[in-house]
Structure 1
Amino acid sequence: MAAGRHKWQRHITLVALILSIGVVLSALFIPLFSQGENLAGRTIQGVEFVGLRNVTADELYPLIYSRIGEPLQPENFNNDLKALFGTGYFGNVEMRLRPNANETVDVVFIVEELPRISDIEFLGADELPLQEVKSVLGFVQGDVYSPQKVKEGVALIKARYREDGFFFAEVWYRTGELDPETNQLQITYIIDEGDDIPISRINILGTRHLDAEDILDILEQKEVGFFDEGKFQESLFEEDKLKILAYAKSSGYVDAEIDPRATGYEIRWRNPEKPEDGRVVIITYKLVEGDIRFFGGYSVEHNPNAMNLELNPPEREIDGPEDLSPIYKPETLLGSLEFIDADIGEVFDERRYFQDRGFMQEMYSREGYVYAQIRPEFVNFELTEESLNRFESCLAMESPAGEDDSRCKKHAEYLNLTALREYLEDNPEAEGNVLRHIHFTVSENNLAYIENIILKGMEKTQEYVIRRELLIKEGQLFNSALVNRSREKLINLGYFKEVNLQMRPGSSDEQMNLIMEVKEQPTGTISIGGGYGTQSGFSIFTEVGDRNLNGTGQRLSGRLEYGPLRRAVSIDWTEPWFYEACQDSTGWFWRNKLKDINNAPDLTTLEKIADTFQNNYSEIGKVMKSYVVEAESVGPARRLDFVKARIRVLIDDYVAKEYECYRQYPRPWSLRLGA
């Protein structure tokens, strides 16, 4: 009995100990939702994250709603947990409250991090650049490990190989062991690239008037032959579809289509009786030409409800189209295009049409009207004596009777009937041809200023290296010519293989955001060679360099030469923008402004130039405008020169400072050391 009592006493003691520990732990970490209301209103003294491996507390703290020094609010608990789960970093997140003796509370998040990818390895990738294979994956080194994304990578890699003609490529993957210290693992893709497949034949079907041989000449892919490798690539197969369409449309067949049911490629044995000879590809394109169209002329009108406000202020009375003041008059626009009335009757080349439409858009963009819209309306008609007579009679109608007559009168107003009749008289064989006339309606809309220039895609290059090359600045009037020239300058640096531009609306109708997205390319170089000289004898050399050192735009190169009679080492360093800190504008800003002012032909142009001064220089623009207004009191003979002289005095100090900056600091600045 005594032994039994001792045994039960030991059990009771053990249970009491466990309960005591539980009480202590419950005092330290109170269950979140059961006791949170009791601690509501207490000041949060600290926020802790327990269980972090690859993420820092500094990254997570800005995401949560419970802040140090603020009262504890239970309604934030769910938001905190959602924010942490929303990062995708964690498999589990728990939240605990720890009350303190000083009537404050600590918020503790206990997390379980998901594994990270330490490295991505590719075995067997020989035919394609490794970077291209990596780029198709939906994840990179350092990302959270997702079994689904890793599995999807197999299909993505195989698809990339198919684009280059490797139809029999196979891909597998394996995941490494999870490192308990770092919570990371390695992903390895094993690639069997297989063989590429040659093109044995390309068939062009459906051509009634176009020459199939001419189409074959423009294709990117060729049949295998003595001079052509003829390797099939799926991506080029799709590109060649577009080339065939573009060729047909530029030849006047504007309604041409590629028949998808009869277009494709087939992989077959070169010789079914000899599989060892391998497979080949036979490509077939089926073109539906449609009917040919000929050029019937251009016409232009301005939308009276979307005119520029600079020359057409709201208070100005406008009774008809003749009272409108467009940036470009219709005859100015038409005179700048590639297609003109003298080309009436020629084959309608859609490529030339798109160039003309784009050029009109470019003309307005250069003046800052990036929101201008050029809307085309197509009028197709048969060129006959009867149709011309019909248009002339419609044109003479004062009150068209019905919808058909109204449409006929509208189209007749578009057409140059005199030029059409002269063409038909000179070319009677053209009777019956279907002509296409394009009527452009121009909505000028308002000026646009650059609110933000957003740079994206840099992995190595520093942002300031790009910004200093730009010929446009935030706050300036948008100018497409300067934007395109800025893009060319960035490409010419040699740091980027692509520079893509996008325009997005800004915070108001007069603001727009310019997005520049770059794709970097390798800038390092290495070369090894040898030479022979009658005095120096044989020598070998190696040279390494980087034209974008650490993303700063600096150029660094080193050369080592070694031989029995000549040994040399040299280091070159170049800073192409040594003086950049001394200027607060892009390029010769003030000198160019002065040049524009001196060349301005009238007061209206000076007023437009004043509008380009924004942000730090907006006051200068306002003063310039006031000079233009005050000029009304000056005699007409010297009015323009008088305003220009006043403006030159206004900006002379800025011009002088800019010139002094450029004079003192040469560009570029180089240093060479050698021995």
Structure 2
Amino acid sequence: MRLKQTLAPLLAVFLLVNSIYTAKVAEIIVRTQGAVTTDKDFVLAYTGIKPGDTFDRAAVVRDIDALKATDRFSFVNIEAKQIDPDHISLIYVLELKPRLKSVPVIIGAREIGQRKIRNLLDLKVGDPVDDSLLAVKTSKIVEEYHKRFFHAARVTWSIELDKNEEFADVVISITENAKSSVRSITFTGNKNVSSRELKDILYTKTWNILSFLNKRGVFEAELLERDRVIISEYYRNLGFLDVAVENPEIYLSFHKIYIVFNIREGNRYKVDKISLTGNSIFDDKTLAPYLTLKPGDIASSGKINNIQTAIENHYRSRGYIKTYINTSISNADEPDTVNVSFALSEGTLVYTGNIEIRGNVQTRDSVARRELLVYPGEVFNQPALKRSERVLENLGFFSSVVSYERPTLLEDRLDIVFDVTEKPTGQFMIGAGYSSVDKIIGYVELSQGNFDLFGWPSLKGAGQKVRARAQLGTRRTDLELSFIENWFLDRKLSFGVDLYYRERGYLSSNFDERRISGAITLGKPLKVFFRRANLRYGLEEISIYDVSDN
């Protein structure tokens, strides 16, 4: 009897829950907590459950997520109420976020201007606000303070509701505290390398009296991992191949930061033997000049890597771009010595196919192509390809240059693609000033670094350079015009024209001076001695006028 009394309520609950999961939704009710109500049509527009649908728990979760995503509600819940065994009511219980009534009030910001802080908050009048939103927004302010040494800065906020709880004022309170800075960097276990030597190679530096100018002492956590790696590399370059540098220990005392690097140096190794294997295309004698390490030398990991790179470049500049080297370092018979072996996989000879340049909307294809150091039909030269990237970047026409190889139907051919992104190459400057000699003076200057003299109407894309400047004052006049063609007659020969007109009224009280000048210049880059040779021819006319009778 007692068992029946216990099971009866449990069975009733089970049947009730089971009936809810199989019931249909008869109606949807929207209930708002707080003084401000919400529009039912707005809620239904963002929800998927409709009257007549069978109750679906997954659909309820989706509706809750959809309403939260509108960013208008600080509380969202859905309740199910049984009407009869086959039907339920769904009740959406919501609480609206108040809307920002006015621009947030900022208190305590001295190091960072209020305009900067408002930009970080990115809040506009009428935006919904609550504590979760302000927690995210103010974290950006804290990050900005950390960048400026203020690691002890604290940011709090308050939301002040109006009487209807529909709108709210937000007050941001900032306690900046003192600046944080790295006051000391110490090392343990560095028996063979001095602490001063290690400090010199670190990205992180300690604070000094000039830190407000040179930013020394800035603490950046991401730099510490780079510092740990660079210490390891420094030791390995000195032959300590087993070195281990632990993650640095950081101690914070209010606004002062102390960093400790723990180092296990290990033994210092020398080279016993160095060998090449797998090279059949180029013999040992050809590759021997690249083996800069000899038996008895310190086993520097940097020099070992340089040897590998040099041998790879030897192959890849001669068409064997799929050459790979497996470098192994093993313990030799003698203590603290190692054998270094370079095992080559040479690959096959590859030639350059087509060369394509993409993204040069304004710059002519020929202007970029003439600067390349790789050519179709030649043996593929990978180092020259990388140098071509740098040459295109140095033109000043592109913000980025990326090259890659593209397979073709022929196994011994690879196309080359250069993806470039153009950047603005024109400049306009204007200014004014005053000096005791020139008195009032103003200037205007126009320049274009990717000019096209004959490319009307855009006048861009031929790689020419033009500059025009006018400087006018009460006692002087300067007019200048210059033009440079870096590939004159389609040769690596520059041709330049310079014209100027100058008037001076301050050289003497008895006369004024006028100078009119013009010059042409031919220049050619050189590979030896001087980097460039220029030949210049100019004419200048000097006139004296307004001569005083005295």
* Counterpart residue number, 1:331: 285
| CA–CA separation in structure 2 for the residues paired with 1:477 and 1:667 | 30
1:258 lines up with 2:245 in the alignment: yes
1:380 lines up with 2:331 in the alignment: yes
| CA–CA separation in structure 2 for the residues paired with 1:358 and 1:368 | 15
Match of 2:197 among 214, 233, 242: 214
- Unaligned runs of 5+ residues in structure 1 are 1-123, 128-133, 135-150, 172-189, 270-278, 304-323, 384-431, 580-660
Residues 73-131 of structure 1: per-residue CA shift (max 9 Å, x gap): xxxxxxxxxxxxxxxxxxxxxxxxxxxxxxxxxxxxxxxxxxxxxxxxxxx9x99xxxx
Shift of 1:435: 1.2
Change (3 A) 1:252 1:365: same
* Counterpart residue number, 2:264: 288
Identity of aligned residues (%): 23
| CA–CA separation in structure 2 for the residues paired with 1:456 and 1:281 | 49
Letter of the structure 1 residue corresponding to residue 388 of structure 2: S
* Counterpart residue number, 2:184: 201
Change (3 A) 1:507 1:265: farther
* Structure 1 range deviating more: 484-493 or 354-363: 484-493
Shift of 1:267: 4.3
Is contact 2:478-2:500 (8 Å) kept?
no
Is contact 2:204-2:217 (8 Å) kept?
yes
Shift of 1:240: 1.8
Superposition pairs of residues 17-32 of structure 1, within 5 angstroms: none
RMSD of aligned residue pairs (Cα, Å): 4.5
| CA–CA separation in structure 1 for the residues paired with 2:175 and 2:410 | 53
Shift of 1:541: 3.3
What count of residue pairs does the alignment treat as equivalent?
A: 344
* Counterpart residue number, 1:90: none
Match of 1:554 among 464, 483, 486: 464
- Unaligned runs of 5+ residues in structure 2 are 1-108, 113-118, 120-134, 156-171, 452-457, 503-550
Residues 185-214 of structure 1: per-residue CA shift (max 9 Å, x gap): xxxxx9x99797421121323324332221
SS at match of 1:254: coil
Letter of the structure 2 residue corresponding to residue 329 of structure 1: D
Is contact 2:482-2:497 (8 Å) kept?
yes
Match of 1:494 among 373, 396, 420: 396
* Counterpart residue number, 1:421: none
SS at match of 1:221: coil
* Counterpart residue number, 2:345: 443
SS at match of 2:332: strand
| CA–CA separation in structure 1 for the residues paired with 2:148 and 2:398 | 24
Superposition pairs of residues 172-571 of structure 1, within 5 angstroms: 197-228=180-211, 229-260=216-247, 263-269=248-254, 279-302=255-278, 326=281, 328-339=282-293, 341=294, 344-383=295-334, 432=335, 434-453=336-355, 455=357, 464-496=366-398, 499-503=401-405, 505-516=407-418, 523-525=425-427, 526=429, 528=431, 539-548=441-450, 552=461, 553-571=463-481
| CA–CA separation in structure 2 for the residues paired with 1:481 and 1:558 | 39
Change (3 A) 1:507 1:569: same
Shift of 1:455: 4.8
Shift of 1:570: 3.3
| Structure with greater helix percent | 1
* Structure 1 range deviating more: 451-460 or 510-519: 451-460
Letter of the structure 1 residue corresponding to residue 314 of structure 2: M
| CA–CA separation in structure 1 for the residues paired with 2:418 and 2:253 | 46
SS at match of 1:547: strand
Change (3 A) 1:444 1:158: farther
| CA–CA separation in structure 2 for the residues paired with 1:554 and 1:485 | 22
SS at match of 2:299: coil
Shift of 1:362: 0.7
Residues 641-667 of structure 1: per-residue CA shift (max 9 Å, x gap): xxxxxxxxxxxxxxxxxxxx649xx64
| CA–CA separation in structure 2 for the residues paired with 1:449 and 1:539 | 60
Letter of the structure 1 residue corresponding to residue 300 of structure 2: D
| CA–CA separation in structure 2 for the residues paired with 1:672 and 1:242 | 55
Is contact 1:164-1:234 (8 Å) kept?
no
| CA–CA separation in structure 2 for the residues paired with 1:243 and 1:331 | 35
* Counterpart residue number, 1:102: none
TM-score normalised to the size of structure 1?
Answer: 0.43
Shift of 1:498: 5.6
Per chain length, whose mean CA-contact separation is higher, i.e. which structure has more relative contact order (CA < 8 Å, sep 6+)? 1
| Structure with greater strand percent | 2
Is contact 1:163-1:235 (8 Å) kept?
no
Change (3 A) 1:495 1:164: farther
